[in-house]
Structure 1
Amino acid sequence: MSPGVYQLPDLLSICPKKTGNIISPSFKETKESYEQWVRDNIGYFASIVRSDMPLMAALVCPNANFQELRAILDYMSMSYMLEELTDRCSSEMAKSTCNLWIEILKNREAGEGHCHPFIKLMTKQMAPRVKGAVDPYHWAQFIQSCAEYAKNTAQEAVDREALKGTVDIPRIASYTVMRRESIGVRPCLVLMRSTRKLYLPEHVLKHPDIAEMENAALDMVYISNDLHSFKKELSEDGALNNIITIMNTDPTTRHLDLQERFDHAGKLFQGALDRFKACRDELPGFDDKEIDNQVAAYADGLVDWVVGGMEWSSITPRYRVFANDADRRNNILRLDDRWFMSVTFQFLLIIGIVVACITFVTL
């Protein structure tokens, strides 16, 4: 490989296949509706437009209908905006924002009177729509998972400050525990159970094999996401909260060069996949045929999330991980062109477009 060019592991090729639809039949309708809502409420130039979240929702929840996809998109939009608001701020500000975020989900009155446009949107539109679409059976589970997500999002801000100072740096094991929550997927798994009408009681979800199967799926999601987002994050903040960077500080992996760290991430993914398969192959029985069928359906839904997430992250403009289709097919990552992803370049590009438009209008 040339300097700055790396081989990413081919994770999709080793994953189980989706058992139903590849993509939701409601994708096109949902995409048009969501993008119109974004234009009306957020604007054309918002970074959320470039994230292509309707495609993600349709790939990870391929059995969801239009109304269900819109609710999933509302949650994804809220979590995306929380990430944007906390990515570059102080840890204290991140904690305050995360606390407000979860309080609005619990009770929309917590957001009344705030002037921030995102808080207003979340209070008046997104949070009520999500609550209206989630089955009441799943609402408490959804809130609990969102609270864990918000807590770990705030912790990421604390860790960013630690990485810049002298405080202990997370190792792979502790990072993995935090990342399962901070990636924001566990609430989506509750939404998935709601859309699939899977009424799994707490004692079933907390069974060691079911909990381990879910955690293994979340590990696969975060590892693949960290691989695909590494290029973008490297251009923004040095990828401080990314498994590839964490390897560079963990005593067991700090001797690895960058290509070896990518390879090691592939091994970690394979380990999580092996754990997932072992749990799926040995699903416990609960002396209730309906619950047993729903547990099996939940395992299928986890596969959809893992595979769909990788399908999306490999093509989304948010990450632009691959320079062209040939690189995507061969999993070739080029870090020698990442200046074009930098905030400075994007700002200059927008300024150039605006100037060109003004010039054209005045001709």
Structure 2
Amino acid sequence: MARCYEIPDLLALCPKKVGNTISPHFDAARIGYERWVNETLPKGFAIEVDNAEMPLLAALAWPYASEKELRAILAYMTMSFMLEEMTDREPTEISTRNSEIWIKVLGDPEAGRDVLNPHPFIKLMTKSLANDLKSAINPFHWPQVLESNVAFARCVIKEAEDRELFEDKDAIRTVEAYMEYRRETIGTRPCFVLMRATRKLYLNDETLRDEVVADMENYALDAVFIANDIYSYKKELDDNGALNNIVTVMTRDPLTASLPLQARFNHAASLFHHALKRFEDARSAISLAKGKYDAKTYDMLQRYGEGLVDWIVGNIEWSIINHRYCVYDSERDRQGRVMRLSAKEAELAEENTRISVKVETVDIQTYTVAQNKVSPKTYFGIQLMLFSLASMCIFVSGIRNNDPVLTGTYLLG
């Protein structure tokens, strides 16, 4: 029998889009792209690409993109999807090789012709996709596109290494460390460069490194990946146990390890809300520091903030309805934000929580250097002390993040 969970209403927390809500060129770009997918890609992969509904994401997250720019964005999104396919299920050595070839061909399509036994996706990049992207990006933004993708490809390699590491179900992770890492591995930073290109925002590297500007971008990235992790959880649970997902990582963090699945969704929503608040704080700080920037740069920063809102909101709008994630089983469930997990899926999700209890127990035993080296009374006292400290940390974390779920977890024991 299916178990039901309530997905938090993230859209209700978001600021509204300013101006276009979706690109007026959506239909034209979608029709051309879907034709290309079905005529060009292998059948199995074509079905996956169709289910991802990338034209919809492109039109929602880049609502000011022209038809040509949407086609270029779709070329990039397809290549990014291909990189995921070439690395997601492969050992680290193969993932590393594929990532290195991918970034080389992105920068120079002709380099793909020198690759021995190239992956079919590399052949497609060489033939058309890489040039389709570059032809629509102006020379100012192209170096930023390449630089952001070099960093992304490195993170894909790191993700492959971590996937192998965290297949060990006794491994401990922290939500904080995961958030720093996930900010880069989600692959949205290059998309922000493409967004600046479509909006004609010529922000140089020095401006982008400004502390407040970097904060604005980073907290927008956090909002995007947290929302993505929530909505993709069901799909990832079926794929690989959702190992690289914040909802699962909470079960490996001693501060959140005892939270049941619904409470983990709620806590993820609190982290999303916190990221949004920090994002808005950074936007306000830019407005207050107006004299720090020349008039042209200040105007571009204001429009960049609006573009980041489009990306945060557009990503959620797409996540709710696309057929790749299949968050909801029916329109009625979507309206009520009810996600259903099969008994097997729910068992796997709750198994993660039971594993986390095992991790905590092993940690306590290691800390006491083995139970047989202290008296039972002393050992029990240490366990009780550590449990109390962990509970207090959960309570403090709840207060800091204004999270009633964590606060209640402590108060209710």
Q: What TM-score, normalized to structure 2? A: 0.79
Deviates more, 1:276-285 or 1:302-311: 276-285
2:297 aligned to which of 285, 291, 296: 291
Residue 250 of structure 2: SS of its match in structure 1? helix
Q: Which amino acid aligns with 1:199?
A: Y
Deviates more, 1:27-36 or 1:327-336: 327-336
- 2:121 paired with 1:118: yes
Q: Which amino acid aligns with 1:293?
A: D
Q: CA deviation at 1:181?
A: 1.3
Aligned to 1:197: 200
Deviates more, 1:59-68 or 1:160-169: 160-169
Alignment of 1:119-268 (within 5 A): 119-165=122-168, 169-268=172-271
Q: CA deviation at 1:265?
A: 0.1
Q: CA deviation at 1:91?
A: 1.3
Q: Does the 8 Å CA contact 2:61/2:314 hold for their aligned counterparts? A: yes
Q: Does the 8 Å CA contact 1:235/1:338 hold for their aligned counterparts? A: no
Aligned to 2:406: none
Q: Which amino acid aligns with 1:83?
A: E
Aligned to 1:348: none
Q: Give the CA RMSD over aligned residues.
A: 1.6
Q: Which amino acid aligns with 1:296?
A: Q
Q: CA deviation at 1:116?
A: 2.3
Gapped regions of structure 2 (runs ≥ 5): 346-413
Identity of aligned residues (%): 46
Instruction: Measure the CA separation in 2 of the matches of 1:120 and 1:152.
Output: 23
Alignment of 1:1-363 (within 5 A): 4-45=3-44, 46=46, 47-113=48-114, 114-165=117-168, 169-283=172-286, 284-285=289-290, 286-336=292-342
Instruction: Measure the CA separation in 2 of the matches of 1:110 and 1:165.
Output: 38
Q: CA deviation at 1:170?
A: 3.6
Residue 311 of structure 1: SS of its match in structure 2? helix
Q: Does the 8 Å CA contact 1:5/1:332 hold for their aligned counterparts? A: yes
4+ runs deviating over 4 angstroms:
166-169
Residue 334 of structure 1: SS of its match in structure 2? strand
Q: CA deviation at 1:165?
A: 2.9
Aligned residue pairs total 338
Instruction: Measure the CA separation in 2 of the matches of 1:134 and 1:337.
Output: 48
Q: CA deviation at 1:43?
A: 4.3
Residue 256 of structure 2: SS of its match in structure 1? coil
Residue 112 of structure 1: SS of its match in structure 2? helix
Q: Deviations over 1:41-76 (max 9, x none)?
A: 104542112111000100000110100001111111
Distance 1:338 1:105, change over 3 A: farther
Q: Which amino acid aligns with 1:291?
A: T
Q: Does the 8 Å CA contact 2:171/2:252 hold for their aligned counterparts? A: no
Q: Which amino acid aligns with 2:80?
A: S
Q: Does the 8 Å CA contact 1:98/1:154 hold for their aligned counterparts? A: yes
Residue 275 of structure 2: SS of its match in structure 1? helix
Q: Does the 8 Å CA contact 2:112/2:118 hold for their aligned counterparts? A: no
Distance 1:65 1:338, change over 3 A: farther
Aligned to 1:349: none
Q: Which amino acid aligns with 1:96?
A: R
Q: CA deviation at 1:287?
A: 3.7
Distance 1:144 1:259, change over 3 A: same
Instruction: Measure the CA separation in 2 of the matches of 1:157 and 1:190.
Output: 25
Q: Which amino acid aligns with 2:96?
A: K
Q: What TM-score, normalized to structure 1? A: 0.90
Q: Deviations over 1:81-137 (max 9, x none)?
A: 111121111111111111111111122232115442211001121111111111110
Q: Does the 8 Å CA contact 1:232/1:338 hold for their aligned counterparts? A: no
Instruction: Measure the CA separation in 1 of the matches of 2:343 and 2:64.
Output: 38
Q: Does the 8 Å CA contact 1:59/1:309 hold for their aligned counterparts? A: yes
Q: Deviations over 1:210-258 (max 9, x none)?
A: 1011111110100010001000010111001100111100111112111
Instruction: Measure the CA separation in 1 of the matches of 2:112 and 2:84.
Output: 18
Instruction: Measure the CA separation in 2 of the matches of 1:320 and 1:93.
Output: 30
